Structure formats: structure tokens, C-alpha cells
Amino acid sequence: MNNIRKALENGQSIWLDSISRDMLRSGELQKFIDLGVTGVTSNPSIFDKALADSDTYDESLLEYAKDGADRQTIFERLAVDDIRDAADVLRPVYDNASMRDGFVSIEVSPNLANDTDGTVTEARRLWAAIDRPNVMIKVPGTPAGVPAIKTLISEGINVNVTLLFSLNAYVAAANAFIEGLSEFAQSGRGIPATVASVASFFVSRVDTSVDTALPDDHELRGKIGAANAKVAYAKFDELFDRNLDGGGNFFPLHSTGAQVQRPLWASTGVKNPDYPDTLYVDGLMGPDTVNTVPEATLAAFSDHGTPGKALTEGIEEARAQLAALADAGVSIDSITDDLLEAGVAAFADSYESLLGRIDEKLAALKA
């Protein structure tokens, strides 16, 4: 049994943070699934790279431009094709997991990060256009995104909450899921167990920022990203307590067979070469979680990772490390606030780069 399947036995799903039409057509995605990968995520940067590295999209670009569609519409048509095809490849995983795994995610426009109504409208359109039950719509965990999450979940639309950095933002996203799912259950629109969500908590970027704020020899360097995630995981256990005597808001939903909103560890490629290349996989392994990894990290974990249940250990140590960070004069709240702002801006820049790539390729093809 390989490390990916060992992780799955320990309760963690490994998703691939990559998608392309070449990967779908060549059977490469199926090979990853055969290894134990149970999901795929996408974002504008991934699509931009796919367009840049391949001529596979050329025919579709020309076809989708024939009616005079703008570049945003052309991109959406391309993305919907790939996401639908990926969902079909992952459908057996979804069915075998009783609708609890086997998902592919697509992002609403990053330009809507501070627009609740716009996010809801675009998410509904993407959900309807793809028309697959094992798709998640990525919505940023911004103040404007939180009410959108609640609305979409209440309508039975699967949501991948992205760009979570702080504990407070995670709690807001989790509560939006619980409230939205409660509304869905009460509405009689469908069965709560069919609605799935993950909360994507970003890890390595936290260490990058914290390390910059600390002296080169400080003992907390390279530790706060995982500590921040562990504290969020402890909060997950509290919010999604499935025992009647736990007093949590989720128990009534759990009794109907509803799924928990799993924490997803994102940004798990190690950016500092001095750190182990499986740092954010080995150290964040535990039940009811997902880790979405780039291909290089997947290869490293497959080769020499250590599947276990590290998330369930060292919670008090993680809290102590966050307290020590504050004592060192570094505010984790300021860092996570800045990371959210930078993350929204970076996603928007990636989106504009992607749209520019479409303009360039169309111009070249028409010439």
C-alpha cells in the first residue's frame, strides 16, 4: 500500500492541485486516481499555465470566439469543459465514497471577492453549466464571501471555501456552512448528505510571512504555519462535534447523515528549501481532512512521506507556539489579514494574466 492510500486509511484525502486538458486526454489524471488521489483543484494560475504550455486549447479557443464572446466568457467555456470532464473521471471515486470524496473545484472570478451578490450569481451559473454532483465552487473566505457561502450551501451547491488564513475566518466559514446546511435541511429541497464542502486553510504562506518577521535563528521559524492549522483543526473538532452531549450546533445535522465541512490544507508546497519537502503533508495528517498538493509535493510524499495522525497530537504545543509568537512581537492576526488581502490581489492578477493569455493566443491563431 502506497503512502497516498495510507493517508486515506488515516482519514485524509490527497487531492491534486493541478488540471489540464492534456492531463485528462492522456489518462494522466486516471493514473493519479489509481494511486489513490481522490480529487482535483483548479485556479486561474493553473489554467494560465495549461494554456501557455500546450496547443490543446487552440481549436476550442477559435470555436468559442466565433460568436464574438468576450475573453471572460471564452475562459469560462474552456474551464467548464475541463471541469466537467475531470468530474466524469472522478465520478467512480465519488460514487464509491458515498458522495464524500471525488470532487473537482472551480473558482468564481477573483474580481468578485468583495461582491456577495456577484459571487452567488456566478457560482449558480457555473454549478448549472457544469451540471455534475461532484463539483465544488470555490468561494473566497472574505467578509463578502461568507454570506455567499451560506446562501449557496442552502441551495445545495457544494462549496470549497478558499483563501482562509486566520482562525476567525475559518470559524466564520464553518458557521456559514452549518447555517446554510440547516436551511437546506429545513427547506425540504433535498437530502443534507448530498451537500459537501471543504474549508481551504492556507499553510506555507503563513510561514513565509512569519519567517520574514523573525530573526534568522529564531526557534519558531517554519513552525507557525502548521501550528495555525492545528489550532484550526481543534476548532473543527469543537464546531463539528457529532456527539449528542457535545452541545455543538452540528449534531442535529449529523443525525440526518450530513457531511462535516472538512478542513483542507492548501498552499502545502514547501517554499523554503531548508525545510523538508513533505513538511506540510506529514505534519498535517489526520481524520476528516484533505490536503491539496502540487505534483512535486505529491511525488515527494509518495516517495518518502510519513502518513500518520500528526494533527491529533501537539495541539497544546501549537497554542504555546502561537502565544510565543505574540511574545516575540509578531501579530498572527496582522499577518493573516495581510495574507488575505495579498491573496485576493494575487488571484485577481493571475486571472488578468490568464485573460491576457487568451487574447494573445487568439490573436496569434487568427493571424
Alpha-carbon span 249 to 289, nearest angstrom: 20
Q: How far apart are CA 70 and CA 140, in angstroms?
A: 24
- Catalytic pick among 31, 138, 150, 271: 138
CA angle 27, 31, 34 (to 5 degrees): 135
Q: What distance in Å separates the CA atoms of residue 262 and residue 200, rounded to the nearest whole number?
A: 9
Residue written as grid cell 505574540: 326
Active site (annotated) includes residue 366: no
CA–CA distances in Å: residue 298 to residues 37, 47, 133, 281, 293 = 9, 19, 26, 9, 6
Cα three-residue angle 103-104-107, rounded to 5 degrees? 130
Neighbours of 56 (CB within 10 A): 16
d(CA 162, CA 350): 15
Q: Give phi and psi for 183, each to the nearest 5.
A: -65, -40
Q: Per-residue b/e over 141-170, b at no fewer than 16 CB within 10 Å? A: bbebbbbbbbbbbbbbbbbbbbbbbbbebb
Rounded CA-CA distance 262/160 in Å is 10
Compute the radius of gyration of the chain from its Cα atoms. Answer: 20
- Give every CB contact of residue 92 below 8 A, 6+ residues apart in sequence: 102
Question: What is the C-alpha separation between 157 and 85, in angstroms, rounded?
Answer: 19
C-alpha cell at 189: 429541497
What is the total residue count of the chain?
367
Task: Give catalytic residues, as residue numbers.
Answer: 138
